[in-house]
Structures are given as structure tokens and as C-alpha cells.
Structure 1
Amino acid sequence: MTWIIFLLFCCLIPANYGRSIAVNDADENAEQAKLNRFLSKKRILIELQAEIFGISLPPASNETDIDKNPYIMEGDIVYTEEQLDILIEDVRGQLFAKNHPEGPKQLSLTPNLAMRWTMPIPYYFDTWVNRTTILAGIRLWEQETCIRFTRKDSKPPGNSIQFITGSGCSSPVGMQGGAQPVTLHPIACNTIATVVHEIAHSLGAWHEQSRSDRDSYVAILSDNIPEGVYPANFGKKSTMDYGVGYDYGSVMHYAKNDFAIDTKKPTIIPRDPMMENVIGQRVGLSFFDVKRMNLAYCNAICKNTLPCQNYGYVNPNNCNVCKCPPPYGGKLCDRFQQSGCGDFTLTATSSSKTITASGAKTCYFFITAPPGKKIQFKMLDQRLYDYLGLCKYSYVEVKVKRDFTKYGPRFCKLPPPVLLSETNEAMIVFQGYFSTNSFTMEYRSV
């Protein structure tokens, strides 16, 4: 009887069972070989970056954290082996430039035009993603640029973006070919700003502080960054900025304490101390985030020119008007836009007056003083509740410089010092993220 059962069991085993095991082993070996090549090149890249920064690295380890994707670097960028090859050559070029400072300067998009998408970009959803937030992020990119997306019910042939759930937020940089993932945790990554950030990576944008000219604008504090994270997550890359300067307010910029050992201390500080609370905002796309992407993808749409003012440019979604930086509006960006928060234009006198606003909204207040006078500001009350005072979501911005397209200092936790405008004009911006956010500020001419 035992022999009969044994023979029956043998007959039930598929004829190709041994072959399938061999195939699976071959697949696993190929994947392990691919990972080993990637980790080896990743180490080469980190060693080159360390040489640029003049730091020493701990000995290499062959161990990988099974809870983390080894292909993710900089916190949310999924690298390919081909991209590592390009970056290694890029960093070697940076090292050569460091040792030969008389050479040409390279300048936040990937310069590889083969990694640009053709329109419209197909996309489809994994089962468990938050479609409402993702669709809002897609709509924002379509409202602000000529970039267009088309939704598919399942994986389409050719190039596409697949929105999937995962343990974090991540995306490759630029079009990789085929279906490429944008990973979004349903809770941790469930904000429109996070979605547009990851889509920007897919469109070709690196992190803002990765620009090759970043050392002129920020300093990296490596003592507060764990070994293995620095220099890997703080490397520089050769990028194209299309004439758009360094953007402290970019949604692609690290916050001041990202990857910190002690989160109460910074890992990155602006050269201009007034920009400390500007970096790392996660409210949405900045004007210059949008402008750079429009110049990359939409520059050939409008054949006409317009005399746009205040850094505006012809709007690729409507070639008859200019696209304007806040707080400007109008066809040619030649006037201030109203924000619907009460009196927009205020007059400062020698007697103290107050400005107040509350709620989940954005408000602009334009203040003028008599010619020859300046405007003094003092915060009386603020309820902004921004975690660790990073000003990522809620803040009051005081534009005290002559050029209102430039960022002013932002405040969200500690009371700001008394501020003084450069001229007899200034602007206050209130960014409320929650309905309970509010502020009251005193102003007068001096």
C-alpha cells in the first residue's frame, strides 16, 4: 500500500518541476547579481561625493536593510543602474571641476532629453492608492503647465506612470521607459504637495538643493547627518535650470532638518538667514517650480511674445496673457492681485494699526507709508501650530525688500523680531493651512 501511495505521489509531480526550480533559482541569481552591481556602483558614487566634500567614509558593508528599498536614494528617488552610471560620470566631472576651478561652470531638471515625456502621459492606479489626492495633484500640474495626463484603467503599452501604495513616497527621475512607479503611502504621503513633488521627479526634476550651484545658496551641516546618509542624500548634480535661479521656496527643496540626527538642529541652512523658514515648504508648487517645467516642456507652444513684467512669461495654457508670480496679476503682471481677505491696500501712519487674518486660505496685504518713510512690523499674536517651526504648511511672510517677487522671512512658531521695510512699501502674506490658523500684526511708519 505504501508503495502505491508513493507511486501516485510521483505521478502527480509535474514533469517540468525540476526545471521550474532551476528557472526560479536562475531568476533569483540574476536579481541578486543586479543588486550587487547596483550596490557596488552606489558605493563608487558615494566615495566620489565624499572626495568632493572632503570627508572619510566608514568601511563598506555588504548588508542591506530588508525593510528598505536599496534602489531608493535621497529619501524618495528610485535610481536605476543606468542613472548611477550617468551620475558617476557627472560627479567625476564635478571632482575635475573642483580641482580645475578655471574650467566652465555647470548649472533643476535632468539635462537628458531622452528622459522627457511625450504628451499626454498615460497613468493608472493601484487598488489601494488615494485617488482623490493624486487626481488633485495631476490637475494642479495641468492647470499650471501645458503638461497633460490621460487616465487608463489598466497598464497600457509603452511608457506610463503607475501610482502604487508602499511604505513611503518615491519616484524615479524622468521617463525610464515602460511602466514606472510613483509610490505613495496612503497616510504619510496623502497631501497634494507630496503628490506634485513625486510627479515632478517623474517629469525630470531633482531636489532643488542638488543643483550644481547650490553651495552659493545653502550650507550642508554634515555633523547632524547620519553616516551612510551623508553624502549620499546631499550630492550635487549637473542640472538644467532654464535661466530660473535658485528657488528657496521650491516644493522640491529639503526642509532645514531633513535626515537630521537631532531634529531640533538643522542639516541644511541658507546662506541668507532670512530664508531659513522658506526652504522645505509643502503647501504646493512655487511659481518657479512651474516656470522651470513650462520652459522645459512648453516653450514651443506660444509663437507670440508679450511684454510681461515682474518675471512673468507667456502662459502656455493661454498665449494671450502672462503667467504671473504672486502677488502680481493682470494680463501683463503689472498690477497686484486681490486675495479676497478684506482690505488689500493699507496705509501706514505714525499711529499703530493692525492686520489680522484667519482660516485655511492665502491673503496678501500691500502697505504703503509716506515717501521717505519706512514701515515697522511687530507680531502681536499668531496661531499657526507648524511642527518644529519649519513653516512647511502655515506661516506669515513679511516681504520687506523692494522686489516683491523675492521671498521674505517666514514665521510660524517663535515670535519674529521687529522688522523694518527697505522702502516705503511692504507686503504681508498669510498662508493658513487649517481653519484655526490666524495672526495679528501691528504696523506703523517710522
Structure 2
Amino acid sequence: MGIHRVLGLFTCVMIVIESLDSVKTDETGPSPFRSVLFTRNRRGFPERGGLSSDSLANLRELLSQLYNKRKGKHGPTNSKGPTKLQKGAGLQKTSESDVIRMVDHHGRNAFREADKENPRTSQTAEDLLEEDTHDIHPRPVQPARGGGSSRRSFLRGEHLLWTNGTIPYVINGNVGEECRKEILASVELFHNYTCIHWEPYLGRGGDHVEFFTGGMSSSYVGNIQVSKYGHLYKPKLSSQPISIDSRHCTLHVVLHEMSHTVGMTHEQSRSDRDRYVTVHWEHVLGGEGNQNLAKEDTENHDVPYDYSSLMHYSAFAFSKDKEKTLEYKNTDYEFLGLRENILSFYDIEDITKAYKCAHACNETECQNAGYMDMTCSCRCPDYLQGPKCEEVVTGGCGGVIELEGPTDQLTISSPGYPQPYPAGGNCVWLVKAPRGYSLELTSQEFNLPDNSLNRCSHWLEVRAMLIGQPGPLYCGDSLPMITTESGAESHLLLLRFDSSNQFVDTGKGFNLTVKTKIDFSQSNGSTDSSLSDDAINHCELDPNWCYNGGTCVFDKGEVSCSCSDGYSGDFCEHSEHLKEMPENPDKDFPDKGIYSCDPSTACQIRPTSAEYAWTVKEQGLVVTPQSRGAQAGFTVPFRITESRDMCLEFTLRRRDPDRPCGELKVMKHVTGADFGYGGYQYDLPLYTGGCGGTAGVHSATLSPFVGESITVSFTATVAENGDFNMVIENISITEGIC
């Protein structure tokens, strides 16, 4: 059935249901028939046939599935070649890809469309799984040569690169016409977005590749130099082969194999991959011997790890039991492995830098993750523009916002907030902090409409991993706290609010807070060269940078600690007198389960002063007796040991609004084991405050390193009038990160 007949069928069905005068389509939504289903109610037509909104939503879903089944997996062939992109974009298929990016939040529950897209329930994911599983990469047999400068997912060694970026090719006669079109479309994409030139082989000898189809997709990584080493292979090679699985000759697969030939290895094989994915070898075909999921020796400077890379496998790749083999550290981004990705924004940067495509360009400092491309202009992430990527592309709302310093913050609201926002808009905000900081996004209110299928009608896209990488689309009645990923782009956050669907009721919108945080992964010793001219003075940012009374020194971009007598170490964490100190009095504290102190029922604490005691009064802990300048403290009788992330939470209340308050200080006490380098002890404040705005719930995450244990103490210093005037209502230490 042709595509026009399918559209005619759908139109007939809709007319029967709706009796509309005209049919409109909404290309921005997840279904091409979204506007048809909502037009009549917006015009004030009465309901017909007793169809509820849920029934219409379910019908729309069934019709959308029928449409997809009829039109075929890849849609009609584009006889004019690949689709042209806006300047700066990576190459990504966008047909229906918005659907699996959606994350519908209600309270603490999250409904991810990507969770439904797995090999047990989705034909699309099944196909991707099969494509990944039939992708192999034989090793070259010639002697390896080290050295050279390569980038990111390129294996070490410039001998793997093709001279002048030129790759002669020939297409074998066994390649069918449709597959030949995909190969030629891939060649054009490389020509349009990189300086790699795939040229027809003229038969004059020399290194070249040959495309042919078979039962599996495979290619060598880089130039194996068949003109020199082809005789070493069995059978002997006269050309470098690129095999395409005849059952999966798609643009995605062809580009993937060609990128290997260019020199790229798999993204999940990068040497830094353990920060981003966990490999579950127990579910992998061939176990740890499967080289497609093995970690390689790669150079990772300048270009970040990219979940959206053409070279990244799906979460179920090479699974022997349909369980996940690659677990993403941030599950909201698993949808990126379920799309037929083409060349991403960072893939293009990867190739550009490896082959020095912009080597002859005048130096221009591209901003906001942009980079100089082969045209000697800045290639910008989606929704950014300008000669240096310094502007946002937006529909009359949004803009570029810059934060300064460690405590700066701002509020971002939907148009018209606190009134419901108007439909039909598209807002983009780029939030920037100084390098060396990360950004934290929280919501005071969040209300964007969804439907009974937990799909978003309007959404907020949050690009917190990389701003050049597609982000999850959030809707519902809540938004989780989101922190930008540590790394070269941790100081950048891009938000895109899409309310372009005008055929649904709008929500109240959102009121968000963005604030800066220090990104400790980019402190001294970072290998990120982009930070070399922007060193962070931690002495100014963190008064407790050095432990045990040490003095912080910042000199020529380096931070060090000048330690007091008897202490040593980078942070003055080692005590020369540790072995002479009495045994840790907290060693007998329980370290299993959780801790809870509710003064209205039961609360176990260990006072540190016999003169001043904490007692239960007014359903909380208060200090009695009290005298000017006195201190009264207690230790929580609970010990957090290594390999446990736990959350300390306590609630404060002011007793008398007309009287001054003293000060409460909450400290964590860290003891590290002696593994031959000397044990250590140090204290760090978790909270210091008096009255004012300190009432309410406060929390801190406690995560001991290997060999460490942590205890917590509370110390009150009463005010000048002898009054502490604060009540601690409850204290808890529970599993998880706050």
C-alpha cells in the first residue's frame, strides 16, 4: 500500500470520528495526526459517539502504529540525497524520535517512553539490537606503531588515518540498488560535513576500500594499508573490505562501518567509558572476550563522551538473554541508544580534529561548545547561532544568562508565570557559569500537560549532559533536581520549552532555580587543556580546602596546603600523632541499617558536655541550662562506613520569633584507615547557621571513600542573652544521595 493510500485511509477514519470540515496536521508532535484529534473540541463541537479523551488518545496511538507499519521502517527513499541540516546541527533522524525522549514525572514516579522501547516489546529496538549484534571489527595483522596525536574515539596512531583524508572506494557488484543508494548518501554526508573525501577508485593501485554485502556488517578501524600489508592476511587482501549486512543496509549501519574505516572506534570503548556506562558482562554474548564492548586505549582530550554518537551501542547490544548489557549512568539518556543515530555534533567534531580539517583557518574562539569546522566558521550546537555561537535561536523568549561566583543563582519561568502560559511558543535559555563550576536545576513549581499514555503534549528539554546532545523532554507535575555532568561542559546548561502544540490545554508552566556549584572534577591536575587559562582559586571558594588548621596557598594557578605542625598530606589530612591518639570513641557505633531521631517518640544521642544537656521539650531537642557564650554538643551514635551513600537530614525550628538565636554547627568527622600511607582524621562543617532563614529541612550527602568512616556531631553556641532559641525537631540518616 503506497503512502498516499495510507494517508487517505487515515483521513477517512478521522472524518467518520470527527466530522471535520478540514484536516490539519502538526508536524512538531509525536504523531502526524495529533491536531486532528484535538481540533473539534477546541472549536466547541459537542462530543459524538461517547468517546472520552482517553479513548481518543488510545485511538490516536493505534492509528499512529498503523501509519508506521504501513509507511515502512525507513519511509520513502529520498532521491535527492540526504536532508540538508541547519548550520551547526549534528545529523540525527528526527521522525518520531521525540517520543522516546519523553520523561513524564508525577511526584516521585517517572514514566520514560524509552523504558517501553526494549527488545521484548519494540520492533525498533529489536532491529537495533540485531544491527549491533551483527557488527564486528577484525584486527589488522600488520605491526602496530605507537605515537602520533589522535583524538577521542580514534585509536592511537596517525598511521591509521588516511592520507589527506582521501579514501578511494569501489562498490562490489553484489551490492543491490537500494543498498548502493545508502552508500552514496553516506559518501555525500561525509563530503558535506567533514573534510573526508570518499572518491571512486581509479584502479591505479594504492590503498582503497571495497563495499560488498554479506551476512554481517564488519570493517577494519582506520587504514590497514593493504598496498603494504595485504599479503599478510588470509585470504590475501587486495582492497580493504567494508561488509554490510544485506538485511540491515541502512544509513545508520553504512555510516557506522564507514566511520570505523575513517579511524573511529566504538564510543563505549573509550578509555574513560566507566564514568558513563557500566558493562554487564554476564549478559554479553561471548562475555569479556567480546571485543565490541572492550575498553580501548583512546585519546579523550577536547571532545566529550557522547551517548548520541553514531558509534555508541544501544543498551541491549550483544545481549544473549535480552537483558541490558550497557547500563547508562544517567537513565534519562538511554533513549539515545534506541535511535538510528547518524553523525552527531560531536562525531563531526571528532573527525574534524583528528584530520585537522580546520588547520588552515584563522584562529577564532568559538564559544559554548562550538568548534571551527572545515568551512573555517564556528559549528554551533542546536539552538545556538552567531559568529562565535554566542546567541540563542528562540521564538521571542529566553536568552543567554550568565552566573558569576560560587553562590550565584537565578530564576527561570515560563512565559506569563504564575498564569498559564500561551500555547504556540518555543523558548530557549542558555545558562553559563565560569569554567570549573557546574549548574544545579531545581523547580519550585512544574506543570506541563501530558496525556493518559504518559506522553508529553508540551515539554521542557534539558540539555545537562552536553548542550550539543539531545536532552530528555520533561513534562508532568514535577521535575527532578538536575545537575550538569562533570567535564568540559559542566558550566553550560541549555533549556528549551516547546509549547508549539496549540490543540491541547496549557498548564501553569514552571518556576525554576539555577545555581552554581564547584565542579571538583576540574580542580588542579585536570587533563582538560581548556582550563589551563582559567585556573580555579579554591582558596577563595572553599575556606575548608585544607584540613586540620592548614593554610590554603594559591600560586601561579596551583593550589596547595601549608600544614600545621604534626600534619602532612596534600590537604593536611595525615596526622603524625595519629597512632599515639586514644582509640576512636566512635568505633563501637552501629554501622548497619539507618538512624532516626524523633524527639516526640525516641531519640538516642551521645552528649559531649556534662554541664549543658540537650533535653526533649516542645517536641524537639533544646539546650538546658543556658548561659552566655556556652556551648552544648552531642554526637549522633551512628557510623557511616565505606561503600555507603547516605543522606543526613534534620529539621530546625525557631522557638520565639521575638528573641535572638545562637548558632548551630553540624560537623562531619572523617577517619581514614592506614593502608601503608598513614591514617588520617579531619573535620568538615556540613551546616552553620542561626535563626533568620535557617528554619526548615536541611540535608547533606555522606559518602565515605575506601577505608573511611564518618560520624556527625551537633554543637550549639547560645546567644549573648543566654538563649539558644532553636529546636531540632528530627534527625535521620538514610540510604541514598540527598
Match in the other structure for 2:428: 366
Match in the other structure for 1:380: 450
String of CA shifts for 1:150-188, please: whole Å, max 9, x gaps: 124x65521112111111222111011232121123441
Match in the other structure for 1:189: 249
Contact kept? 2:369, 2:381, Cα under 8 Å: yes
Q: How does 1:308-387 map to 2 (within 5 A)?
A: 308-316=366-374, 318-319=375-376, 321-337=377-393, 347=415, 349-353=417-421, 365-366=427-428, 376=446, 378=448, 380-381=450-451
String of CA shifts for 1:332-360, please: whole Å, max 9, x gaps: 1112346xxx8886726234447689xxx
Match in the other structure for 2:727: none
The worse-fitting range, judged by mean Cα deviation, of 196-205 and 396-405 is 396-405
Contact kept? 1:383, 1:439, Cα under 8 Å: no
Number of residue pairs the alignment of both structures matches = 322
Distance of aligned partners of 1:443 and 1:326 in 2 relative to their CA distance in 1, 3 Å threshold: farther
The Cα RMSD (Å) is 4.2
Distance of aligned partners of 1:291 and 1:257 in 2 relative to their CA distance in 1, 3 Å threshold: same
CA distance in 2, matches of 1:172, 1:280: 25
CA distance in 2, matches of 1:248, 1:143: 23
The worse-fitting range, judged by mean Cα deviation, of 201-210 and 239-248 is 239-248
Contact kept? 1:124, 1:162, Cα under 8 Å: yes
Matched, 1:292 2:338: no
1:78 Cα deviation after fit:
3.0
Contact kept? 1:229, 1:259, Cα under 8 Å: no
Distance of aligned partners of 1:195 and 1:397 in 2 relative to their CA distance in 1, 3 Å threshold: farther
Matched, 1:141 2:190: yes
CA distance in 1, matches of 2:214, 2:264: 21
1:112 Cα deviation after fit:
1.8
1:287 Cα deviation after fit:
0.9
CA distance in 2, matches of 1:272, 1:167: 34
- Residue 409 of structure 1: which of 468, 472, 476 is its match? 472
String of CA shifts for 1:175-230, please: whole Å, max 9, x gaps: 1123212112344122x222221111001111001111111211111222234575
| 1:290 partner amino acid | I
Distance of aligned partners of 1:204 and 1:440 in 2 relative to their CA distance in 1, 3 Å threshold: farther
* Secondary structure, counterpart of 2:254 in structure 1: helix
Structure exhibiting the larger radius of gyration computed from Cα positions: 2
Match in the other structure for 2:213: 165
- Residue 302 of structure 1: which of 360, 365, 377 is its match? 360
* Secondary structure, counterpart of 2:347 in structure 1: helix
Contact kept? 2:308, 2:469, Cα under 8 Å: no
CA distance in 2, matches of 1:384, 1:158: 57
String of CA shifts for 1:5-64, please: whole Å, max 9, x gaps: xxxxxxxxxxxxxxxxxxxxxxxxxxxxxxxxxxxxxxxxxxxxxxxxxxxxxxxxxxxx
Q: How does 1:15-54 map to 2 (within 5 A)?
A: none
Contact kept? 1:356, 1:440, Cα under 8 Å: no
Matched, 1:76 2:110: no
Q: How does 1:103-118 map to 2 (within 5 A)?
A: 108-118=153-163
* Secondary structure, counterpart of 1:158 in structure 2: coil
* Secondary structure, counterpart of 2:255 in structure 1: helix
Contact kept? 1:226, 1:261, Cα under 8 Å: yes
CA distance in 1, matches of 2:316, 2:504: 25
Contact kept? 2:169, 2:198, Cα under 8 Å: yes
Match in the other structure for 1:123: 169
1:309 Cα deviation after fit:
0.9
Match in the other structure for 1:180: 240
- Residue 217 of structure 1: which of 276, 279, 282 is its match? 276
Q: More helix per residue: 1 or 2?
A: 1
Larger RCO (alpha carbons 8 Å, 6+ apart):
1
Contact kept? 1:374, 1:422, Cα under 8 Å: no
| 1:158 partner amino acid | G
CA distance in 2, matches of 1:352, 1:325: 30
Distance of aligned partners of 1:110 and 1:171 in 2 relative to their CA distance in 1, 3 Å threshold: same
TM-score by length of 2: 0.38
The worse-fitting range, judged by mean Cα deviation, of 401-410 and 163-172 is 401-410
Match in the other structure for 1:40: none
1:422 Cα deviation after fit:
6.0
| 1:126 partner amino acid | N
1:295 Cα deviation after fit:
0.3
Identity %: 26
* Secondary structure, counterpart of 1:82 in structure 2: coil
Match in the other structure for 1:199: 258
CA distance in 1, matches of 2:221, 2:505: 42
* Secondary structure, counterpart of 1:137 in structure 2: helix
* Secondary structure, counterpart of 2:214 in structure 1: coil
Contact kept? 1:115, 1:176, Cα under 8 Å: yes
| 1:182 partner amino acid | I
Match in the other structure for 1:64: none
| 1:150 partner amino acid | E
Q: More strand per residue: 1 or 2?
A: 2
| 1:427 partner amino acid | R
Contact kept? 2:166, 2:197, Cα under 8 Å: yes
Contact kept? 1:377, 1:420, Cα under 8 Å: no
* Secondary structure, counterpart of 2:252 in structure 1: helix
1:256 Cα deviation after fit:
0.6
CA distance in 1, matches of 2:341, 2:443: 34
Contact kept? 2:306, 2:469, Cα under 8 Å: no
Distance of aligned partners of 1:209 and 1:86 in 2 relative to their CA distance in 1, 3 Å threshold: farther
Match in the other structure for 2:337: 279
Distance of aligned partners of 1:282 and 1:164 in 2 relative to their CA distance in 1, 3 Å threshold: same
Match in the other structure for 2:510: 445
Distance of aligned partners of 1:156 and 1:132 in 2 relative to their CA distance in 1, 3 Å threshold: farther
